[in-house]
Amino acid sequence: MSGNDYQHQHNQDAPCLDGGAGQNGIDCRETSRRLWAYLDGELTALSQEEVQAHLTHCTGCLHLTETQRRFLGLLHIDQSTSAGREAQAAALKAKVLARLAEARAQGLP
């Protein structure tokens, strides 16, 4: 499930009901769009501050963020070493090849 697919107790098209989309703030939909980049530390400082401000007021988005952070922790492979990067690449390759084999077995192109 991607961050864009997630829905919690608010309407993501409207400003956050908990007050997280106040003056110049972002709403739940925008927070959801930025979630993975936020967790990966890939946002600009301003964008990161906007997400953090939203999370201080929106329990639904905060819960999602904590859940996704735990999920990432379960998948964590040490990226700081070449062995860790190689292990991750090998694991990904094995998963892709397995899915391709499953698709072929089902008669898919």
- Looking at per-residue pLDDT, the higher value among 87 and 100 belongs to 100
Q: Kindly list the domain boundaries of the chain, sorted by start residue.
A: 3-76, 79-109
- Residue pLDDT, tens place only, 89-108: 888 888 888 888 888 888 87
- Residue pLDDT, tens place only, 1-27: 444 444 444 444 444 544 445 555 899
Q: What is the pTM of this model?
A: 0.53
C-alpha atoms less than 13 angstroms from C-alpha of 93 in its C-beta half-sphere: 6
C-alpha atoms less than 13 angstroms from C-alpha of 79 in its C-beta half-sphere: 5
CA triplet 4, 96, 5: central angle to 5 degrees?
10
Q: Can you tell me the distance from the alpha carbon of 58 to that of 98, in angstroms, rounded to the nearest whole number?
A: 39
Residue 93's pLDDT is what?
87
Residue 79's pLDDT is what?
59
CA triplet 52, 54, 60: central angle to 5 degrees?
110
- Looking at per-residue pLDDT, the higher value among 82 and 86 belongs to 86
Judge whether 37 and 64 are in contact, CB under 8 Å.
no
